[in-house]
A and B are shown apart, each in its own frame.
Chain A
Amino acid sequence: MTYEPPVTDYDYIVENCTCAFCGCNCDDLDFLVKNGHVVAVRHACRLGASKVMEDLDQRIMVPMVRNEEGVLTEVSWDEALDTAAKYIAESIRPVFYGWSETSTECMKEGLELGEYIGAVLDNQATICHGPSLQAMQNAGYPIQTLGEVKNRADVIVYSGSNAMNSHPRHLARWAAFPRGYFRQRGRFDRTVITMDPKFSDTAKCSDMWVGFEQNGDYGFYNAIRAVIKGKKLQSESVSGIPAEDIYEIVETMKNAEFGTLFFGLGLTHTLGKQRNIDIAIKMIQDLNAMSKWGLTPMRGHFNVNGFNIFMAFETGWAFGVDFCRGYGRYMLGETNTIDLLVREEPDCFLVIAADPGAHFPNGANQHLANIPVIQIDIHWGPSTELADVVLPGSFISVECGGTSYRMDGVPIWMKKAIDKPETCRDDEWIVREIKERVFKLREEPNVAPKYVPNPGLGLLEKGD
C-alpha cells in the first residue's frame, strides 16, 4: 500500500451515516461529499469505505432488456418494468432471491407480490447462515447484543470466522479492543481465542489459536462439551488438537466472567453444517451452568438478519418460504434456492440486491442460463451477465433511507446522505411498480382451493 494524503477537497460532510456493508452496521461514519458524490469516508474500514465510494464505471445507470442478439439494451422504465412483470406473471414457479442489501421497507412490497403470485422468497442466509438458523430452531438462541460484549465480555471466541477480513471493525468497535464499562483496559482485559483450521488474520491477533483439522469442528466441540461436564478425554488428541490444549481452553472458558462466541461460515459450510452449530449452541448452554456465555452469528450483509427477522415475523419462517400452494411452506432442502435451482424447478428468477452469479456454485447457476432472470441492483456484476432485465436501484444508506437489522438483531435506521442519479429509482419503488403491474396482468391471486373436509369423516360422525 502506498501512502495516501487525507482528502481535503470536498464541499460538505454528512455525519453519523450508517455503513451498508457487513452485519456490524457501524453507525458513526462521516461521508465527505463533492459534486454530489462521496469522495471519502471517515471511520469506515477498508470494505465499508470501498463500498460507499463505489466504482462508477460499473454503476448500472439505465434500465435494460436483452435484445435478440443477447446484448443488453437501454429501454424506458415503463418498458423494462412491463417486461419484468410479464416474466413474473407468466411464470408458475418464480423465485425471489436476495433482499439482504436492501431495506426492510422494500421487503414488505416483495412479500406482498410473492404471496400473490405464489413465489419462493429466499435470501442470502440460504448460502451462508441458513444452517445457523436451523440450529437455532434445534437448540436455541442464547444471544446478547454487541453493546453487552463491548462493556462486559472478557473472553471472546471466534470460530470459523475471519473477522479481520470480513468484519474488519468488529474487533475494534465491539469485541476485542474497545474499552467498556467493566473492561476499562480494553484489549488487556480480554482474552481472544480463534478456532479456525486456517491461521487467519484474526488468529494472528488473538491470544490463542486453535487450528483444528478440516471438517473437525463437530468432534472438537463434542470434546469441549465432554470436558466441561467433567469427563476425561480417552484419546490423546481430538480433531488434531492435543487433549491438554482442550483442557486449557475449557479452563479459560469456564473461568470467564462474560464470554461470547462469534461463529462464521467456517462452521456452516463444512460437512457437519447445522450440526456444527447445534453442538456450538449446546456448548454455550453447558458453559452457562458455571459462567455467563452468549453467542452471535457473524452475519455478512448489513440486512441479511433483517430479512430473517422480517420473514419470521410476517410468515413464521426465517428464509426459504414457498407460497406456491397458496399458503406458506418451509422445508429445508426443498424450498431453498440452491436446491430448487439444482432440481431445475424455477421458471423465473428475480434477484434483488444480491449476486448469485458471484456466489452460487456452478451446479445451481447453470439453471439460470435456461430461465429469464430479472436483476435489481446498483452495480454491474456477474449476475448481470446472466440477466435478461436489469433495473437500476439505489444505494441504501447513501442515496436512500431504510431500516436494517444488525447481526445481533438491533434495528438501525440508515439515513440518506446524497441524491441518487436521476435515472435510477429506489428499490422499494421498483418492487412496488412490478407488483402493481403483475396484479394487472394476473387478476386472480394464487390461493389454495377451499378446504373440504374428508366426506367420510362426516359419515362417521353421523354414525352411519
Chain B
Amino acid sequence: MHYANSYLEKPVVGDPNVAPRAETIKVLKCMLNTGSDIYQGACKKRGSTLKEEYKNASGTAYMDPRDMAKLGVENWDHVLVKTDYGEVVVNAARSRDAPHEGTIFICKGPWANTVVSHETYCCSDPTYKGIHATVEKTDREVLLMADLMRWVYKKYVDEEDDDVVESMESFGERPFYNGRKWEELEDHDI
C-alpha cells in the first residue's frame, strides 16, 4: 500500500565547493547556535527519534564551507564539538544558509543539548544560542539517539566510564522494551 511520507535519510545539503587547503588546522574556534529546521522538525514530530534519519537531521553541525576547508572536512564527516558544558560527536555538513564564517548551527535535539549552556541568568530560559565552541575532526561515531541518551545520562547503566558506555551494544532503531509491539496489537496491514 502506498503511504505518503516525508522520510528522508539525510537532509539535502549543497556541495562545499571550496578548494581544499594544503594546510588544515586541527581545532576551529567558533560560535555555536542551535534552533530548529524543517528536517529536524519533521522527523521529531513524526516521532522517528530512534532512527538514523533523526541522527542525521538533528546531530549535524551545519558549517560555512570555508570553515570546512580550514578543518579539512567533507559533507558527513564526523566532528567533535566541545564547549564549557560538554562535548559531542556530530556530522559536519555544508550550511544551506552560508556564508556565516565562524558560526556553526546544530539543530536542537539530544546532540545539541549535550553542549549548550544551562545558564538561565534568572530568566527561566537557558542560553541555547551564541555559545563559544571548538570543532575538530574525529574518527569517533555519531551515536544514535538511544545510545547517546545512555552515554550522556547513564540512568540505567552502572558503568561510569564514557568509553565503555560508548562501545556497548547499540539499542538500534526500534524501541527496546519487554511487551507487545504495535504490530501484535491489531491487524495492521500497512
Residues of A within 8 A of B (CB): 1, 4-5, 7, 9, 21, 34-35, 37, 39-41, 46-47, 49-51, 53-62, 64, 66-67, 70-74, 126-128, 130-131, 134, 162, 164-166, 168, 197-201, 214-215, 265-266, 268-271, 273-274, 319-320, 332-334, 336, 338-339, 342, 355, 357-366, 368-369, 378-382, 384-386, 421-423
Shortest beta-carbon distance from B126 to chain A in Å: 5
Please give me the residue from chain A that is nearest to B34 by CB atom.
A269
Residues of B with C-beta under 8 A to A215: 130
Q: Give A379 to B2 CA distance when docked, in angstroms.
A: 23
Number of CB contacts from chain A to chain B under 8 A:
269
Contact between chains at B4 and A49 (CB < 8 Å): yes
Whether B178 is near chain A, meaning CB under 8 Å from some CB there, is yes
22 A–B pairs (Cβ distance < 8 Å), ordered by A: A7-B3, A41-B4, A55-B47, A58-B48, A58-B174, A60-B175, A72-B176, A72-B178, A131-B124, A131-B125, A164-B38, A165-B36, A197-B33, A197-B103, A338-B120, A357-B110, A358-B108, A363-B117, A378-B47, A380-B175, A385-B153, A386-B155
Whether B100 is near chain A, meaning CB under 8 Å from some CB there, is yes
Q: Give A229 to B6 CA distance when docked, in angstroms.
A: 49
Contact between chains at A59 and B179 (CB < 8 Å): no
Contact between chains at B46 and A55 (CB < 8 Å): yes
Shortest beta-carbon distance from B188 to chain A in Å: 7
B12, B97, B123, B180 interface centre (most CB from chain A within 10 Å): B123
Q: Give A164 to B33 CA distance when docked, in angstroms.
A: 18
Residues of B with C-beta under 8 A to A41: 4
Contact between chains at B103 and A214 (CB < 8 Å): yes
Whether B27 is near chain A, meaning CB under 8 Å from some CB there, is no
Question: Given A53-B3, A130-B124, A339-B120: A361 and B113 within 8 A (CB)?
Answer: yes
Please give me the residue from chain B that is nearest to A66 by CB atom.
B156
Q: How large is the interface on B (under 10, 10 to 19, 20 to 34, 35 or more residues)?
A: 35 or more
Contact between chains at B36 and A9 (CB < 8 Å): no
Residues of A with C-beta under 8 A to B38: 46-47, 164-166, 168, 201
Residues of B with C-beta under 8 A to A273: 121, 123, 125
Residues of B with C-beta under 8 A to A265: 35, 128-129
Binds A, one of B15-23, B73-81, B142-150, B159-167: B142-150
Whether B189 is near chain A, meaning CB under 8 Å from some CB there, is yes
Residues of B with C-beta under 8 A to A386: 149, 153, 155
Contact between chains at B105 and A198 (CB < 8 Å): yes
Residues of A with C-beta under 8 A to B145: 382, 385
Contact between chains at B36 and A7 (CB < 8 Å): no
Question: Given A51-B46, A199-B100: A361 and B128 within 8 A (CB)?
Answer: yes
Q: List residues 97-131 of chain B with CB under 8 A from any CB of chain A.
A: 97-100, 103, 105, 108-110, 113-118, 120-130
Question: Given A35-B189, A58-B175: A128 and B125 within 8 A (CB)?
Answer: yes
Interface contacts beyond A58-B47, A73-B177, A380-B49: sample of 12 additional A-B pairs, CB < 8 Å, sorted by A? A7-B2, A7-B3, A53-B6, A58-B175, A198-B97, A265-B35, A320-B124, A333-B123, A358-B113, A378-B47, A386-B155, A422-B186
Whether B50 is near chain A, meaning CB under 8 Å from some CB there, is yes
Please give me the residue from chain A that is nearest to B177 by CB atom.
A72
Q: Give A458 to B80 CA distance when docked, in angstroms.
A: 68
Contact between chains at A5 and B2 (CB < 8 Å): yes
Residues of A with C-beta under 8 A to B86: 362
Shortest beta-carbon distance from B143 to chain A in Å: 12
Please give me the residue from chain B that is nearest to A341 by CB atom.
B118
A369: contacting residue among B97, B125, B155, CB under 8 A = B155
Contact between chains at B47 and A59 (CB < 8 Å): yes
Q: Give A7 to B188 CA distance when docked, in angstroms.
A: 19
Q: Give A370 to B168 CA distance when docked, in angstroms.
A: 22
Please give me the residue from chain A that is nearest to B4 by CB atom.
A40
Contact between chains at B36 and A385 (CB < 8 Å): no
Contact between chains at B182 and A214 (CB < 8 Å): no
Shortest beta-carbon distance from A342 to chain B in Å: 5
Q: Give A166 to B145 CA distance when docked, in angstroms.
A: 22
Contact between chains at B1 and A9 (CB < 8 Å): yes
